[in-house]
Amino acid sequence: MSVDEFSEMGPVDYLVLEFPGNRMTGEGLPLLLDLVERRVIRVLDLSFVRKDEDGTVTALKVADLDGDGELDLAVFEGASSGLLGEDDLQEAASVLEPGNSAGILVYENLWAAPLAAALRRSGARMVANGRIPAEDLLASLDALEAGTAGSDS
């Protein structure tokens, strides 16, 4: 990827999703495909690992992971930008409980690409970013509501 191509990219994020007991149902796959088809995101890398009970980590093929014979994730087979290396897979597996699997997804936020490119051209640079976990947001809203409800009395 050239510097010019990078300057037009949106922010890149990653997710490590743990599947207890190696159960990957594929329920989220249609939603992921929808995001890709609508050009909200672009999948740069998609990898899977399994952590055995003895702690051994095995990379899994992106294909029919649930064994039902359907296409499933084969649509992403070969989705590799080279951003994820063996050390990244090992690091992702380090947070897994033994007997579980994980999907590691690296994606570009295409929806934000025009804004990000314009900001880079103007000399702006990101100095911090983060994500608020849904549980924290819900707890804050509950606390706010409890405080508001108490002041109405």
Please check whether residue 110 lies inside any domain of the structure: yes
* Beta-carbon contacts of residue 50 (< 8 Å; ≥ 6 apart): 22, 57, 58, 60, 100, 101
Please check whether residue 132 lies inside any domain of the structure: no
Please check whether residue 29 lies inside any domain of the structure: yes
Please check whether residue 56 lies inside any domain of the structure: yes
Please check whether residue 114 lies inside any domain of the structure: yes
Q: Which of 68, 77, 57, 65 is nearest to 22 (CA)?
A: 65
Please check whether residue 39 lies inside any domain of the structure: yes
What is the structure's pLDDT at 149?
A: 56
Burial class of residue 33 in the structure, from the number of CB atoms within 10 Å of its CB (0-12 exposed, 13-18 middle, 19+ buried): middle
Query: Which domain, by its residues, includes 30?
Result: 3-125
The enclosing H or E element of 29 equals: helix 29-37
Per-residue pLDDT of the chain (153 residues), as tens digits, is 555 666 788 999 999 999 998 777 778 888 998 999 999 999 998 888 999 999 999 888 765 455 554 545 555 655 666 778 888 888 999 999 999 999 899 999 999 999 999 998 999 988 888 888 899 999 999 999 988 654 544
Please check whether residue 31 lies inside any domain of the structure: yes
Please state, in angstroms and rounded to a whole number, the distance separating the CA atoms of residues 74 and 78.
9
The pTM for the full model equals 0.75
Please check whether residue 112 lies inside any domain of the structure: yes
Give the number of domains in the chain.
1
Q: Which of 56, 45, 55, 49 is nearest to 22 (CA)?
A: 49
